[in-house]
Structure formats: C-alpha cells, structure tokens
Structure 1
Amino acid sequence: MLEKHIDTVVVGAGQAGLSASEHLTRYGCPHVILEQHSIGESWRNDRWDSLVSNGPAWHDRLPTLEIPGVGAQDFATAKQLVAYLELYAKNIAAPVRTGIQVRRVQRLVGKRGFSVETSEGTITCRNIIAASGTMRTPRQSTLIPKSKDILQLHSCEYRNPDQLNPGATLVVGSGSSGTQIAVELMVSGRTVYLSLGQNMRPPRSYRGMDFAWWSSVLGMWDATPIEGQTHTTIAVSGAHISQTIDYRKLNAMGMRLVGQTSGFENGNVVFRNTLKGSIDYSNLKYLESLKLADEYIMRNGLDLPDDPDAWYVPPITNDEMYPIRRLNLKDDNIRNIIWSHGFQLKYDWIDVDEALKDDGSPIHTYGISPQAGLYFLGLPWQINRSSSFLWGEWNDAAFIAKTIWYRGNYWKYSNPEKG
C-alpha cells in the first residue's frame, strides 16, 4: 500500500529519478519513486539489440558508482546499463515502487501541495519531480500513409535487421541513433538510404583522447541554451570504437545519402536539396573541434601524440553533386522506413494550471516550475547541454533536491504554525 501522504513524489525510475532519490536522501527529504514499468525502462525495452552507450564507461555513468564488469574505456551495452541502474537503486536504498502508474496530478484546494492519482489509489504530497524521461513518447510521423507492404518503425521500435522486410530501407534522421541503425543495416547487406538533417559529428577520438574527454575539457557540456537557438543533433557512436562518423566514408561503403525528408507525392518520398549543405556544415564543425583541441593542447602544454589523419575530409560524393530528390517506394524497392527523428515531451498527467505550454512542454527555469512544488528533471538543455545525459541529470538532480530542501526549511521556520 502507498502512504497517504509523503513530502515528495518522484515520477520515473530511470537515471533522472534515481539521481533525484540519492540527493533527496542526502538532504533528509522523505520521498517515494513511482514507476509505471521497471527501473531503467527505456534502456530495457526501447532500444535496439546492439546498442551501446555513446561514451566510455569512465564517463557515461553516475558519479557515485562505477559500472561493474565494464572497463573504463569500454562502452556499456543497454543490458549492462539496466543492471547498473538496478544496482545503483539498491545501493542508495531508493524507495522505488514499480508497476504504479501516475494518472493525474492536481493542486490541493486551499492548501499547499498536490493530489496524486495513481493506479493504486490517491496520495498527497508537497512536491512533485517529473522525471519520467524524454525518450518515452516517440515522435510519430504521418507523412507516409500506412501500408501492409511498407514496414514503418520509430527507432525505439527497431531491434535488429531480421525484424525488417526484404528490400531497401530508408532511415530518416542522421543523429547518433539513425546513423548507427543505418550502419548496422548496411553491414548486414541491405540497401540503405540515410536522410540527413543538420548535425554535428565530433571526432570519436583525437590525439589519443576520447570525444567525451574533449567535450568536457573544452566546456561543451557546460554550454547553456541561447534563446532562439535551434538544437543541433550530435552524431557520435560507441558501436565502432575509435571510429568517427563520416557520411562521405559511409557513402563510399555503399550507403546512399539523401537530404531532409520533406513530403510524399504519388508513391514518391520527396527530399529537400539540403544534402551538400548538411555535410558541409558537419565537416566544418568537425574541423573546428580539432582546431579547438589543438589550441587547448598548446595552451596547457599537454604532451599528446599528433593525429594528422584526423584532418582528412573525403571529397564530395556523387550523391551530393547529383542529389536524389525522390524515391519511389515501389520502383526503388523501399520496403522499410525507420523514423529516427526524436521524441516528444509528454506530461498529460500533470493537470496544473500554467505548468505546461500549449505544445505540452514544461514551463520552467532550470527545471523549477513557476507553480511552487513542481519540478522537472532530465529535460534537454534543462541547465546546460549535459542535462539530458546520465551524468548531467545527476548534477541537475542535486540542484533540484537542494531547492526542495531549502524551500522546505524556509516554509517550516517562517510558518511554524503551519508545519
């Protein structure tokens, strides 16, 4: 049975919710974590079979626990990360209650706090931390009509090449997920078309140091959001250790490249004439990152080996010079489409005035809602670029937990008669 009242309810038992629990415990804040499914659900059931983390284990983990059985320079599999989060929850004695769905959260009338309607009854609390994850509701596309002849999957539904129909595959989205899936399908012997948008492709490693190390020392993870700035996807892979994603090299290996997917007409998928511009942009940002790394090495007097091969950029491809603007599903034998264009924020269980924008995304400052007692965790760019990553969510959780503790003590000592 759930308690009738508890100070703080954390919704979601992924890395964000568990991080919040660790910090709340340190501050002595009573809380419970309610999880509809299982600990680490998105790693458990929303990833493809061969997925590994995009950073080495020394980096892609929570700061207070190393990943057992995974070398510091190795890349943890999704199964290893699920086991890791379960162990982490056990080590911090996280008060997780699984199999409980939070259906509705409303403000209490005439008093501080919230009513939380769950699948096991209604409880009240003073604080809510929405840590239900940003990768739980796939962004669905209705661009191409459903057909029994064409298998359409979101990247979170893809598992392995054997799942697909015989024939060619169009992968829409060239960030880390889309590119990794496209490479896996190409290696399996399939014809693959990859629809590219604008993104950054950092070096997997440079001068003996991993991309994760460079991102940290160069302050990439500390970058803060700029109003009006468009989010640019990072294309990096841990599946091919020490190999940088390079679209022109993939093209030379047999992968076909097309621009952004823009429409569907008379059985034809239509693409914008953006391919060359997207690749030029990714190459420009790649070379800029190498330059910044060299400047950092010189400025700090580091003794790191030269890496001249990293500066090589392959020549322009035929797909860029003579771009494919249409693919006919029948004539080009496109039997599979994988949509790797992200997820949408969904907080339809939060029924609190002025907590959400019209599109359903949260109104917040660094995860703090203007509605007292409501907090968000794990949002992209919540505080900085690292906010939606394993280690970044832990840091953001510390800020949220401290805010809850401070506000609780302020209320207690300024309103002693109200408790």
Structure 2
Amino acid sequence: MHSSEYQNPSQLKEGNVLVVGGGNSGSQIAVEISREKKTYLSTSKRLTLLPLTIRSKSIFWWFDKVGVLKAPFNSFLGKLIQKRGDPIFGLELKYAIRNGSVFIKNRSMDGKENKVIFQDNTFLDVNNIIWATGFIPDYSWLNVSGVLDEKGNPKHNRGITNIEGLYFLGLPWQYRRGSALLQGVGYDAKYIVDQIVRNSY
C-alpha cells in the first residue's frame, strides 16, 4: 500500500514489513510498525536525523531564528537546502535502528512476487510493502489556460499568476523554505494580500 492509505499496523498481513522511502513519513511509519513486526526501511540516501527540540524549543523555532525558514528559493542557502533535501525530524528512528527494531536496506531496485532486490544486490522476502515514496502534485483539474508550465506546475511570481484574480499559497518553495509550513505561510499570505490591496486602488 501507499503511505497515504496507511493508518496503523492492524492493516498489515502477518510477517515482516518493508517500508520503501526514507523521508519523514516512511521513517515514522517504520518506527510505529517496528513495535509489532520485523521492519525494514529502504532508502536511497544517507539518513540525516535532527531532534525535534533543542534546549526546550522547537527546531523550527531555531530554523526561524537563524534564517533557514526565510531563505528564498534562489538564494545560496535556499539552493543548498533544496539540493540536500529535508532531514528526518525526531530521533525515534535513530533509537529504533540502534536497538535493532528497524533494519536499513539500500535503494529498492526490482522485485518479483514477494522478493525485493536492493541496490547492493542483496534481496529480501517480504510479506508487506508500504510505499512511502512521496507525492507528485497534480494541477490538471485547474482548467485555466496559461497558468501551468510545460511540466504542469503553476507559473507564478511569489504566488501571483498572470491571470487576474488567481493566486497560489502554500506551495513548497513558493518563495522561501517556510512557504509550505504553518510557521512560514503567513509571510507569503501577507505579500499576496498587500498586492491585492495595492492593485485594487
């Protein structure tokens, strides 16, 4: 099943579980399932894990203070963050790996029936697979001519499109790292409202 369908371990068959995808969703699902079943996590990259709190404050509070959430998409810091991708927030996976509850496997490359083959040429017989491989945005429902580029992504400048009265908000990296986060979306919302007010006079 895809991670969007996963609710709890009771949905799974007897036997072991392979979670494919080393992002935050895959990591959290793997940790939860590992309390009941033998669990493997297949990832294509080295895991970077960060604590949720530092000195009793949220790590996102610190990100905000040092400017990470304010980094524009086209800045040096913004480009560096986009290249590296998001870390895993929380250290539960670290402890699960350490105590042998979750076993890390290389990238999943191929499979036949219940056998999965990994990039290092090892294989594993699995009873359950959860695909935590992310999502692809789909704006095909937005039947407005000229608002999407050739890849199907919104054409905009900080959420403002070339279509009068049409705006976007909450897109990943709409302008800065925090654009898709509750802690940062307000900056983009204020900018768009200011533009609307300015253009109404």
TM-score, with structure 1 as normaliser: 0.43
RMSD of aligned Cα (Å): 2.3
Following the alignment from structure 1 to structure 2, what is the Cα–Cα distance between the partners of residues 215 and 349? 35
Structure with the greater alpha carbon radius of gyration: 1
Is it true that 1:336 corresponds to 2:128 in the alignment?
yes
Give runs of aligned pairs for residues 6-405 of structure 1, distance below 5 A.
Answer: 153-187=1-35, 189-198=36-45, 200-226=48-74, 229-230=82-83, 232-237=85-90, 244-245=91-92, 247=94, 249-254=95-100, 255-264=102-111, 268-273=115-120, 325-328=121-124, 332=125, 334-405=126-197
SS of the equivalent of 1:403 reads helix
CA deviation after TM superposition for structure 1 residue 358, in Å: 2.8
Change (3 A) 1:373 1:263: farther
Q: What amino acid maps onto 2:97 in structure 1?
A: N
CA contact (8 A) 1:263 1:269 kept: yes
How many residues align? The count is 194
* 1:260-286 deviation digits (Å, cap 9, x = unpaired): 22333575423235xxxxxxxxxxxxx
Amino acid at match of 2:68: M
CA contact (8 A) 1:175 1:236 kept: no
Deviates more, 1:357-366 or 1:375-384: 357-366
- Partners of 2:8 and 2:113 in 1: how far apart? 30
Q: Assess if the C-alpha contact under 8 Å between 2:159 and 2:192 holds in 1.
A: yes
CA shift, 1:233, in A, is 2.2
Q: 1:378 touches 1:393 (CA, 8 Å); kept in 2?
A: yes
> What residue identity is the alignment partner of 1:369?
T
Per-residue deviation, residues 251-304 of structure 1 (Å, max 9, x unmatched): 23221101222333575423235xxxxxxxxxxxxxxxxxxxxxxxxxxxxxxx
User: Mind listing any 5+ residue stretches in structure 1 that lack a counterpart?
Assistant: 1-152, 238-243, 274-324, 410-419
How high is the TM-score relative to the length of structure 2? 0.84
Contact 1:155–1:339 (CA<8 Å) still a contact in 2? yes
Aligned amino acid, residue 251 of structure 1: I
AA of the residue aligned to 1:236 = F
Distance in 2 (alpha carbons) for counterparts of 1:380 and 1:268: 35
Q: Per-residue deviation at 1:162? A: 0.6
Partner of 1:41: none
**What displacement does 1:340 show?**
1.3
Find the residue that maps to 1:376 and give its secondary structure. coil
- 2:167 is paired with a residue of what secondary structure? strand
Q: Is the Cα contact below 8 Å between 1:155 and 1:338 reproduced in 2?
A: yes
**How far off is 1:354 after superposition?**
2.6
Q: 1:266 to 1:339 in 2, by over 3 A?
A: closer
Cα distance in structure 2, aligned partners of 1:182 and 1:230: 25
- Deviations, residues 83-104 of structure 1 (Å, cap 9, x unaligned): xxxxxxxxxxxxxxxxxxxxxx
- Tell me how far 1:171 sits from its aligned partner: 0.7
Residue 44 of structure 1 corresponds to none
* Aligned mates of 1:156, 1:351 — CA distance in 2: 26
**What are the Cα deviations for residues 352-394 of structure 1, in whole angstroms up to 9, with x where unaligned?**
2331123322122211123333211111011111111112223
CA distance in 1 between partners of 2:148 and 2:68 (Å)? 29
Whether contact under 8 Å (2:21, 2:132) holds in the other structure is yes
Q: What is the identity, as a one-letter code, of the residue corresponding to 1:399?
A: Y
Kept in 1: contact 2:9–2:33 (CA 8 A) = yes
Tell me how far apart the structure 1 counterparts of residues 136 and 84 of structure 2 sit (CA, whole Å). 14
Residue deviations 1:145-203, cap 9 Å, x none? xxxxxxxx22121101111111111111122211111000001x201110124354222
The separation in 1 between residues aligned to 2:114 and 2:15, in whole angstroms, is 16
Which string of whole-angstrom CA distances, capped at 9 and with x for unpartnered residues, describes residues 43-84 of structure 1?
xxxxxxxxxxxxxxxxxxxxxxxxxxxxxxxxxxxxxxxxxx
User: Structure 2: which 5+ residue stretches go unaligned?
Assistant: none
